[in-house]
Amino acid sequence: MHIISVLILMLRSGFFCKSQEVLRGVDVSLRCEVSFLSESSTLQWERDGEQTSNTTLLYNNSAYIILHTVDEHNQGKYYCRLMEDGRVATVRIHTLNLRSNSYNGYNKINTIYRQSSNNSDVSLICKSKKEYHRWKWTWEPRPNSQTDLIAVEKGREVKVKGPIKPGRLSSTTYNSQVFIFHISPVNFNYSGTYRCITDEQKTTYTTTMLHTIRVSVEPSDGVLGKRSVILTCEVSEVTDSVMLVWLRMEGNRGVLGKQQIMTEKNNKLQLTVNLSSNETDPLHWQCAVFTEDTLRALAPITISLSSSSGTPTVTNQSNIFLP
């Protein structure tokens, strides 16, 4: 399909320009779709003429990007560019505006996904226009199991109450308008509901639901040339339904390996894929988590061949070496 035809189709669908206002500290996922994308064509998100970070995924004629914990640095215009036959055209413009606070109230929940790995983190941000004398962050891993994490009040130091140790970016002094709880690394069992509560510990200012995902490998018995491996992607819980998708990566372009919709009725919230031992090049895979058409998270894993013998080893749950 010619690039002009793609642009006409996008314009007719009203899918050319969009403006969005979001709360400070949430995750934002952007998607740009064309009706056909050849192997020689490129579709990518840019901002101010520069390509975005490596969270970009190209899959099913769509370009995705996830912006984690947005702040004032993420404001502005994002451009989806289509390059075809040496020509470049803007398919979509997305303007992101940021609210000055993180208030979402008790009945609204901000849902985020994070990979459980040594280099994964999440910052839970409470930011208000109004000044408060007391703040605290709580965690509810299961219904009716709420426990305090950290708390502070005017004129006093931040108290750490556990059971999750605050990361280095967590608030350490009293600030009447900002209170941050940083988690690093993110463990799989850290999923649950996090609440920022103000003043008399009765008003919920911000509520965040954290879902965690993890990827792992299982080697079968055998030697090189006869060995296959099993990749597993697991999500901690689902509230409605999510789709897990295993993608073999060719650059930032994902090729479908296997997919499955997960609901609360599933006995195991995991998706496995079997890989043949006949490969000779490093295998780059990602587990993608979708809710409807929205990309929520990517969990990478790399399998490479080693000249040594023995058992496959895992480094940071992202790099796996097959003997």
pLDDT in tens, 95-149: 999 998 999 876 789 999 999 999 999 999 999 999 999 999 999 999 999 999 9
Nearest 5°: phi and psi at 230? -120, 120
Spatial separation of the C-alpha atoms in residues 128 and 171, rounded to whole Å: 15
pTM here is 0.86
Which CATH number fits the domain 213-322, given the four candidates 2.40.240, 3.30.70, 3.40.1280, 2.60.40? 2.60.40
Q: What is the CATH code for 110-211? A: 2.60.40.10
Confidence of residue 276 (pLDDT cuts 50, 70, 90): confident
Element (H, E) at 8: helix 3-12
Q: What are the tens digits of pLDDT across the range 47-84? A: 876 666 545 799 999 999 999 999 998 999 999 989 88
Beta bridge partners of 248: 255, 285
pLDDT in tens, 145-184: 999 999 999 999 999 998 999 999 999 999 999 999 999 9
For residues 75 and 316, the model is more confident at: 75
Question: Whose CA is closest to 18, among 5, 29, 4?
Answer: 29
Domain boundaries 3-98, corresponding CATH code: 2.60.40.10
How would you classify the pairing of strands 76-84 and 87-98? antiparallel
- Top pLDDT among 185 and 318 is at 185
The whole-number pLDDT of residue 1 equals: 46
Backbone angles phi, psi at 188, to 5 degrees: -60, -35
Give 279-285's long-range contacts (Cβ < 8 A, gap of 24+).
279/305, 280/305, 283/248, 284/248, 284/249, 285/215, 285/231, 285/246, 285/247, 285/248, 285/249, 285/257
Edge-to-edge, what's the strand order for the sheet holding 28-33? 28-33, 62-67, 57-59, 253-263, 241-250, 283-291, 294-305, 319-322, 313-315
- Reduced to 3 states, what is the DSSP secondary structure of residue 187? coil
Phi, psi (degrees; rounded to nearest 5) at 163: -90, 0
Is the pLDDT reported for residue 322 higher than 80?
Answer: no
Residues of the chain with CATH 2.60.40.10: 3-98, 110-211
CA 256 to chain centre: 19
